[in-house]
Amino acid sequence: DGYFYHMMRQCRYSSKDLQGIELITSYVFNQAEYIRFNSTVGKYVGYTEYGVKNAEAWNKGPELAGELGVLERYCKHNAPIYYSA
- The pLDDT tens digits for 10-22 are 999 887 777 789 9
> Does the pLDDT at position 41 exceed 80?
yes
Helix, strand and coil content of the chain, in percent to the nearest 5, comes to 45, 35, 20
pLDDT, residue 49, reads 96
Identify the pLDDT of residue 1.
66
Residues 54 and 44: beta-carbon distance below 8 Å? yes
Do you know the residue count of the chain?
85
Domain definitions of the chain by residue range: 5-84
What is the CATH number that goes with domain 5-84?
Answer: 3.10.320.10
Sequence-ordered list of residues with C-beta below 8 angstroms from that of 14, at least 6 positions apart, any chain: 20, 21, 22
